[in-house]
Every structure is written in C-alpha cells, then in structure tokens.
Structure 1
Amino acid sequence: MTTIVVVDNHGQFTHLERRALRDLGVDTDLIDNETPPEEVDADGVVLSGGPDMDRIGRSADYLEGDVPVLGICLGMQLIAEELGGRVGSGEYGGYADVTVDIVDEEDPLTGSLHPETRVWASHADEVKELPEGFELTAKSDVCGVEAMSDTDRDLYGVQWHPEVAHTEEGDEIFENFLEICER
C-alpha cells in the first residue's frame, strides 16, 4: 500500500488533507513538522498549509528526499522560497473562491483539471517568482502563480486548498499526486 505523510505546518485544514488521502485508500499519517525526514518511511510527502514561515520546523528538509512532494499554500511557498524563488504579500489577502486557469495540460498534478476550475485559496502570501526548474501550471486574475511543478525533481505546489469542499476538483489533485507517488 502506498504511504503518504502529511507534514503539519499548523494549518487549519491540515487534518482534512490527511482525511482526503485516507479516503483514497492511502496509508497516511499526520506528522509534526519537527520530525526529521530520516525517521519517515513514505512514498510521498504533503507539506501542509499554515499561518507563517516562522513555524515550518524541518519542512524544508523534506525537499532533499527522493520521494515526491506536494506543497499546499504555505507548503508551496516554502518550496519556492527554499529553492530560490520569491514569496511576497498578495494583493487580495484572505480566503476567497477563485477561478484558476490551468496553463499546462501536460502537467501530472494539475493537467487533468478543467481548463478553468473553482478553488478555495488564501492569498495573504503567494509565490511571486518561480524557482529555477519549475514551470507555471496554473494562474488566476488574483495570483500569477496558483500552481507550479518541477517534474524532474517531483516537486509540486498549489496555492489553493484541494482538501476543502469549496474546491471543485480537489480530490483529483490528491488522486494525481497519488499516481505520481506510485510511479
């Protein structure tokens, strides 16, 4: 059975990320973000959302592993910041229902979504500049980088929260990530 851990960055929806994976039949655990990666045996890692970069613990250490990583909201931002991208304040701010445009139909994480899909996202902070090796996979009129992928390193990120009911195709993000982890 495929095992995917969710690294808890203290986000309000983190438990829903674990539940979404469990509902797909994935063996999953929610682990504290101070857990060293060498203590984790998993086929994939989800870096959860959270309130701020000051509380990410050892999350960045998981980027050096040899398993796929999916960053959600803050998780995506920390991937960008750790790997040379730039994160800054968003113009929009809090949570909102946003229409996202999928710009890369070949992307293994977001490519199967409808060309326009409704998501629930926070834009208090957002990726302003992609790190080297990443491709833009989704954008909106609220945020220029709604999703990004580095398929060579199996690192993926979405600004939105696929685990909440307000996101139309959220389960598909987790299904696609599961497929990536099972390759």
Structure 2
Amino acid sequence: MTRIAVVDNHGQFTHLEHRTLRDLGVDVDIVDNTTPTDEIDADGLVLSGGPDMDRIGNCPAYLDLDVPIFGICLGMQILAAELDGTVGAGDYGGYADVDVEILDSEDPLIGSLAPETRVWASHADEVKQVPDGFARTATSDVCGVEAMSDPDHDRYGVQWHPEVAHTERGEEVFKNFLAVCE
C-alpha cells in the first residue's frame, strides 16, 4: 500500500488533505514540519499550505528525500523558493473561485483536468518564476503560475487547494499524484 506523509505547514486545510488521501485508501499520516528527515517514512510527500514562509520548518531538507513531492499553495511556493524560482506577492490573492487553464494535457499531475478546471484559491503570495527543470502547467487570469511540474524529479505543485469541496475534480489530482508514487 502506498504510504504518504502530509507535512503540516500550519495550513487551514491540512486535515482535508489527510482526509482526502485516507478516503482514497492510502496509508497516510500528518507529520509536523519540524520532523527530522530520518523520521519520514513515506512513498510520497504532500507539502501542505500554510500562513507564510517563516514557518516552513524542515521543508527545505525534505526536498532532498528520494520520493515524489506534491506542494499545495505554500507547499508549491516552498518548492519554487528553495529550488531557485521566485515567489512574491500576488496582484489578487484572498479567497476566490478561479477558472484555471491547463497548459499541458500530458502532465502527470493535472493533465487529466485539461483543458480547464474550476478551483478554490486562498493565497496572498504566488510563484512568479518556476525553478529550472520545472514547467508551468496551468495559469489563470489571477495567477500566472497556477501549477508547475518537474516530472523528471517527481516534483509537482498547485497554487490552489484540491482538497476542498469547492475545487472541481480535486480528488482526481490526488489520484494522479498517487499514480506517480506507485
């Protein structure tokens, strides 16, 4: 059975990420983001959302683990910032329903959602430039980088929250990540 660790970055929806994966029949645990890397035993990591980059604990070290990584909201921003991309204040932010255009229908994480999907966003900051090796895989009118992927290293991120009920086909995104982890 696939084992996933949801890294708690003190986000408002971390428990929903855990529940979604549990309901998909996955062996899943929530781990605090201060957990030492040698105590992480998982086939994949979900870096949860959270309030800001000042409270990301050991997340930078987790990027060196040899497992697929899925960053959600702040989790995606951590991937970008730690791998030499750019994160900055968004022009919009806040809570909103957002129509997202999928740019790569072959992307392992979100390609199945093409050509577009409706999602729930909750963020003030966003990825401004993806790191080397990543491709921008989704965009919207309110956020230029709604998703990014580096399939060669099994690292993925979405700016929106696939774990909330307001996001259409959010469970599908988690299923796609689980397929990467198998």
Partners of 2:159 and 2:108 lie apart in 1 by: 16
1:121 Cα deviation after fit:
0.7
For 1:3-152, list aligned pairs within 5 A: 3-152=3-152
**Is 78-87 or 32-41 further displaced after alignment?**
32-41
Residue matched to 2:163: 163
Residues 89 and 123, structure 1, Cα contact 8 Å, conserved in 2: no
Give the counterpart letter for 1:65 in structure 2. L
What CA distance in whole angstroms lies between the structure 1 residues aligned with 2:101 and 2:122? 16
> Could you tell me the TM-score, scaled by structure 1's length?
0.98
Q: CA separation in 1, counterparts of 2:95 and 2:40?
A: 32
Q: Is the 8 A contact 2:48 2:71 kept in 1?
A: yes
**In the TM superposition, what is the alpha-carbon distance from 1:123 to its structure 2 partner?**
3.5
Q: Which runs of 5+ in 2 are unaligned?
A: none
How many angstroms does 1:160 deviate by? 0.3
Letter in 2 for 1:145: V
Q: Which moved more, 1:72-81 or 1:55-64?
A: 55-64
| RMSD of Structure 2 on Structure 1 (CA) | 0.6
**Matches of 1:123 and 1:135 in 2, distance apart?**
21
Distance in 1 separating the partners of 2:154 and 2:44: 10
Task: Give the Å deviation of 1:173.
Answer: 0.6
Q: Distance in 2 between matches of 1:36 and 1:151?
A: 26
Distance in 1 separating the partners of 2:119 and 2:158:
10
Moved more, 120-129 or 45-54: 120-129
SS of equivalent to 1:165? coil
User: 1:66, 1:39 → 2: CA distance?
Assistant: 14
Q: Following TM superposition, by how much is the alpha carbon of 1:62 offset from its aligned partner in structure 2, in angstroms? A: 1.1
Normalised by the length of structure 2, the TM-score is 0.99
User: Matches of 1:15 and 1:79 in 2, distance apart?
Assistant: 21
Give the CA deviation at 1:124. 0.5
Per-residue CA distance 1:22-78 (angstroms, 9 max, x = gap): 011000000000001211111000000000000000011111111000000000001
For residues 127 and 25 of structure 2, what CA distance do their matches in structure 1 show? 31
Aligned residue for 1:112, secondary structure, equals helix
Question: 1:123·1:143 contact (CA, 8 Å) conserved in 2?
Answer: no
Report the Cα offset of residue 122 of structure 1: 2.1
**In the alignment, residue 90 of structure 2 is paired with which amino acid?**
G
